[in-house]
Amino acid sequence: MLLETLEAARDLGRLREILGVLVRHGFGDTVRRLGLANTLERAGARLHWQPPTDLARLEPPVQVRLALEELGPTFVKFGQILAARADLFSPPWIAEFEKLHSNVPALPLDALRSQLRADLGGEPEEVFAHFDPEPLAAASIAQVHRARLHDGTEVVVKIRRPGIAEVIEADLRLLQRLATLAEAELPHLRPFHPQELVREFARSLRHELDLAAECRNAERIAANLAALPYILIPRVHWRYTGERINVQDFIAGVPGNALEQLTPEAGFDRQLLARRGALTVLKTIVEDGFFHADPHPGNVFYLPGNRIAFIDFGMVGRLSQRRRDELLHLLLGLVEPQPPTVAEVLLDWTSNAHTVSLAQLETEIEAFVDQYQNVPLAQLSLAQMLTDVTAILRTHRLGLPSDLALLIKAFITLEGMGRGLDPDFHMAAEAEPLLQQVARARYAPRAVGRRAWQALRRSLATLEHLPDDLTRLLRNARRGRLQVNVEVAHLKRVGDQIDRSANRLAMALVIAALIVGSSIVMTVQGGPTLFGLPAFGFLGFIAAVVCGLWLVRAIWRSSHRGDDE
């Protein structure tokens, strides 16, 4: 408790800054309902409650985007994570989240020099044959400089901003507290699972802070794609790479957002590039279960010979074998189409489906998939189909697991890139042969036999330990040490309400005791007086009045919150 108090005091200034930005952008009512305004006022801080009139006229998604940009790198990254949650947010919100960018100027080399000296073991001009002091690119977490090794290899040096880890950790602490409050005090936000979103975001951001982890991701994907000669992943130079810095080969090619340079005269076949890019990402998703989760044009380069290079593996997605099997069934159900299969997979994915009518949800999903019966693959838009499916789930306030939300975002981005290269590109037509191939491999006799053998081994191991487990269970039951844990939803909230009620009851008893005791003292002659009345009796009545006013105010505020909910 003491540690939490000290941390809260340390973060108080940042909390005031965050709440001030929220108020300026028209979210003062939310701040009040969270009870944070009272916390700041008790700490001696004050908030300006009048938002600018020009911001008040903006739509809520725009107001949220502007607030996130003003709050800095951590919150911008949080908004970028939310852009992948089409299952939770409607298209206007997703469109605004996708516009988020950090207006962070590049740091001069002198501000990085001491950290570089510690990480490289010397001055950058000495470690490298050439080091460009002007950054090639700058972002909220790191910035990139060009350099040349002594053997002549052209490289890029990615450097984490000094002190950014401490800033992000402080913001994550506050975000976790805000998410807990939001889930408890704002019922309309509960379907968005604020605490789960923040936990997912914290894991992703902490992983992204480790620049060596990005290189490990790159090497793993490079190994998975080694059989594709037209795919290039930058080589990592581990001699210079660590948590705060990484060094990779420089990629000289056409950026993914400069499509006008991909002309036949320059030797590029845009249809071939679209097909190769799609099949590559599909392979990493369906076969490998480890994929680039942010394949937007800024992370792609096109090279002579119709080769493709992918960079920046700070954000990756992982899919277990079970999840890949489910995904395979879903995609085959969409492109073939098979409505019952799609409905079954989606219902399995939505863990909170007990809150809605399953029959109605299944009927809507089957009606959605059924409309694509007999539609040629060349006319199907897989991205639009996935968008429509998430819209159905969003209507029923059902959220997908975070790994699947990231996956759907990657699919939608990928099809958009393919259409940018080739207007006649259709992800469904490209995906079906690979999906069929993976399905055949999945159910080949050798693969089935291997899974059956693994299942048999697990079953035999369970049977081997079953007598010991039963013996321990019966022994504990005989000794009266058998425990059954029952988890009741919202039990903590109910406990808090009972605790508050008990405190008010105790205060009422104190007030009654003060009134009775003061009345008795008033009848006693002698002793000090105040305004002609016995002093102790008079002060007792004053204390009873003050406590009574506090009790009335607490009851009124509690009922007021109940009305809001």
Q: What is the pTM of this model?
A: 0.69
Q: What's at 509, amino acid-wise? A: L
In which element (H, E) is residue 194 found? helix 194-209
Q: What is the 3-state secondary structure (H, E, C) of 58-71?
A: CCHHHHHHHHHHHH
From the candidates 87, 119, 294, 312, which is the catalytic residue? 294
| Token digits of residue 45 | 């801080």
pLDDT at 114 over 90: yes
What residue spans of 316-444 are helical by DSSP H? 321-335, 339-349, 358-370, 382-395, 402-421, 427-442
- Mean pLDDT rounded to a whole number for the chain: 78
What residue spans of 238-286 are helical by DSSP H? 270-282
**Residue 294 a catalytic site member:** yes
- pLDDT tens for 233-292 read 999 999 999 999 999 999 999 998 888 899 999 999 999 999 898 888 888 888 888 888
**Percentage of residues of the chain with pLDDT beyond 70:** 78
Select the more confidently predicted residue: 8 or 248. 248
Q: Which residue has the tokens 């076969």?
A: 287
Using DSSP, state whether 353 is helix, strand or coil.
helix
Using DSSP, state whether 234 is helix, strand or coil.
coil
Q: Rounded to whole angstroms, how far apart are CA atoms 288 and 331? A: 16
> Across residues 18-22, what is the average pLDDT?
79
Say if residues 361 and 353 touch (Cβ distance below 8 Å): yes
Looking only at the bridges linking them, the beta strands covering 290-292 and 307-310 are unpaired
pLDDT at 564 over 80: no
> Across residues 76-90, what is the average pLDDT?
78
In which element (H, E) is residue 160 found? strand 154-160
- pLDDT tens for 448-480 read 677 677 777 777 777 777 787 788 878 777 777
Reported as a pLDDT band with limits 50, 70 and 90, residue 2 is very low
